[in-house]
């Protein structure tokens, strides 16, 4: 269950180097080579899945728990003031590596990370209409 062209599959297989910080039966966590902040890590399932829509449910749960472990360590050991978890699903949503991963980004007071949108009140009718489409049927 791997993609021969996937860099994260190669990291999981030990064929490409990575700085590993956590592992379990289902997941591997390693440092991002282009960190947003000090301690930025990635959590991936060992099994290849391209994205959030395709990942196995047990793998997704395991990735979530691994991300929580790293978030706790970021606060306890790196002195982070907060943490962002980020998953990008699809190229339009910034995804560049198509092996599911969660970014664990430690946050520090005054760091340069910013929201990728400008919060502003939405149109109530549009919100309600989108909610109708999204609601479980």
Active site residue 40: no
User: Smaller CB distance to ligand 5GP: residue 116 or 125?
Assistant: 116
Number of residues binding to Zn ion, judged by CB under 5 A: 6
Minimum CB distance to ligand 5GP, residue 120 (Å): 25
* Burial letters 12-49, b for 16+ CB under 10 A, else e: beeeeebeebbeeebbbbbebeeebbebbbbbbbbbbb
As to burial, measured by CB atoms within 10 angstroms (0-12 exposed, 13-18 middle, 19+ buried), residue 125 is exposed
List interacting residues with ligand 5GP (CB under 6 A). Answer: 7, 18, 30-34, 42, 88, 94-97
Would you tell me which residues interact with Zn ion (CB under 5 A)? 3, 6, 8-9, 48, 99
- Catalytic residue list: 101
């Amino acid at each position: 269950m791997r993609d021969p062209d996937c860099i994260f599959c190669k990291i999981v297989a030990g064929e490409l180097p990575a700085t590993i910080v956590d592992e379990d039966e289902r997941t591997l966590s390693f440092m991002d080579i282009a960190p947003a902040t000090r301690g930025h890590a990635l959590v991936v399932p060992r099994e290849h899945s391209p994205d959030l829509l395709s990942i196995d449910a047990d793998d997704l749960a395991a990735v979530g728990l691994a991300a929580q472990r790293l978030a706790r360590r970021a606060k306890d050991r790196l002195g982070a003031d907060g943490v962002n978890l980020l998953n990008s699903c699809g190229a339009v949503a910034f995804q560049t590596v198509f092996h599911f991963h969660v970014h664990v980004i430690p946050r520090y007071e005054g760091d340069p990370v910013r929201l990728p949108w400008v919060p502003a009140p939405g149109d109530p009718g549009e919100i309600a209409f989108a909610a109708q489409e999204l609601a479980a049927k």
